[in-house]
Amino acid sequence: MLRWARRVVAGLLLLALIVTTPIVYVEWTCSVAQDPALAARPPMVTAPGYVRAEADSYLSFPEWHIVYAYEDIAGVLATNDPSEVAYGRQITGFWRSLCRLTRLVTARATVPTDTKVMLYTIGWSFTAELALKGLYENTLGRFTEWLRGPHRTAEDEFVARDMQSYARFLHQTPWYAYPFAARLGEFWWTTPLRGEGIVRKVERRAIVTVEYGVKAVYGAVIGWASNTALGAADLDILSVVTGLDPADLAAEPSLKVVRELGNGRTLIRTPRYQAYTDLIGRLARRGRDVVEIAGRHRILMTVLAPRGGLPRLSAANALFEVPIQSRPDRRRIGLDVAVEQLAASIRTLEASGTIIEHIYDY
């Protein structure tokens, strides 16, 4: 009994060390002292609820890294088996980007404790999931792939298709709202057990049932807790733009004018998240400019850049770079951009063949 107790304690200590190492690294190595010279400028608008925390733009990327990781995994699974996915690269990409962004944000302001807890929680949930999946898929999963041969089973094809649906879903909706239980039912209903590769078919059915079942239950709990503790998220954001005309309003039904501010500036209300990125991109292509977003003058933007360097940008600094396994011709680059030059930067980048991936609103 004493021997087993020692083993349990040793295992718990090892687990605690593994869990805390990246958190300690971010806290002690990636955090820096505040620089008063980097303090945010006063906002142009003083309406209640207008100003939002600048840190929210930068520290929302780690959540989006998870979205892009599943998107990348879906791209790999479209033509390859799960054992070919670079799970470790996705995990290290999360913590490296969090470190770089923490260094930038802490130089400007204090990061709230609840934000840190949220980031570390999702980081370790993501890390644990992909580490376990990588370990499994490169052992027993790879073995059943070998037994199956080169032709994928109906179960393999279902998972590949569903991963693509899941990746698209995450662009506008939290993961826990995905209908895992319904998709598991469809998986069993639509994939025939008959056919070649019976060992692989049975193994896939078992592992998918466990994964989707756990996510369905865990997602329901997280969804309930999020709605209870946090309430509904604010789905709109206010921005100041210049040059807006009636044609823009006709072309953008989701854009609402709040009021005119003079000197060609207009305070507008728009949707957040991916819809915001798409709308600002369209306004930029029509020659409109953004002056301020939620009272802030710096913002994070990621782009998908082709091989070679980015064009010269007058008010944007590269923060990090992440490879994309499913798109080796592109790399994801995070840019710290001056809001006043956001639209001009978009026009310059798109002219060079760079894809604007996401503008991280506050």
- In-domain check, residue 197: yes
* DSSP labels, 327-348: -TTEEEEEEEEEGGGHHHHHHH
Q: How far apart are CA 76 and CA 202, in angstroms?
A: 23
Question: Buried b vs exposed e over 331-340: b needs ≥16 C-beta within 10 Å?
Answer: ebbbbbbbbb
Residue with tokens 């072309």: 251
- Decide if 261 contacts 217 (C-beta within 8 A): no
Task: Say how many domains are in the chain.
Answer: 2
Q: Does some domain include residue 32?
A: no
Query: Do 185 and 211 belong together in one domain?
Result: yes
Considering 229, 255, 290, which residue would you say is the last residue of a domain? 229
Domain finish residue from 229, 251, 275 = 229
One domain, residues 63 and 159: yes
- Mean pLDDT per 10-residue interval, the chain, length 362 residues: 65 64 86 84 85 92 93 96 95 92 92 90 90 94 95 96 93 87 96 92 96 93 72 81 93 93 94 92 96 95 90 89 92 95 96 95 90
What pLDDT score does 359 carry?
96
Q: Determine the pLDDT at residue 240.
A: 96
In a domain, 42, yes or no: no
- Same domain, yes or no: 240 and 225: no
Sheet strand arrangement including 316-323? 316-323, 330-338, 298-306, 355-360
Q: What is the predicted pLDDT for the residue at 18?
A: 67
347 and 243 together in one domain: yes
266 shares a domain with 174: no
- What are the two backbone dihedrals, phi and then psi, of residue 264, each rounded to the nearest 5 degrees? 80, 5
Query: What pLDDT is stored for residue 15 in this prediction?
Result: 59
Q: How many H helices and E strands in the chain?
A: 12, 8
**Is the same domain home to 213 and 103?**
yes
Identify whether 1 is part of a domain. no
At 296 the three-state DSSP class reads strand
Same domain, 348 and 205: no
Whether 84 is covered by a domain: the verdict is yes
57 and 117 within one domain: yes
**Distance from CA of residue 121 to its chain's centroid?**
14
- Domain edge (last residue) among 195, 229, 263: 229
Residues 189 and 101 reside in one and the same domain: yes
Residue 309's domain comprises 236-360
Residue 74 and residue 207 in one domain: yes
Does the pTM surpass 0.75? The reply is yes
Is residue 39, in this structure, part of any structural domain at all?
A: no
Same domain, 212 and 337: no
Q: Is residue 345, in this structure, part of any structural domain at all?
A: yes
User: How high is the pLDDT of residue 65?
Assistant: 94
| Residue 335 β-bridge partners | 301, 318
Q: Which two tokens stand for residue 18?
A: 């593994």
What is the pLDDT, as a whole number, of residue 17? 67
5 inside domain: no
Asked if residue 353 and residue 224 are part of one domain, the reply reads no
110 φ, ψ (degrees, to nearest 5):
-85, 135
Question: Hey, is 191 helix, strand or coil?
Answer: coil
The DSSP-derived string for 197-248 is -HHHHHHHHHHHHHHHHHHHHHHHHHHHHHHHHT-SPP-EEEEEEES--HHH
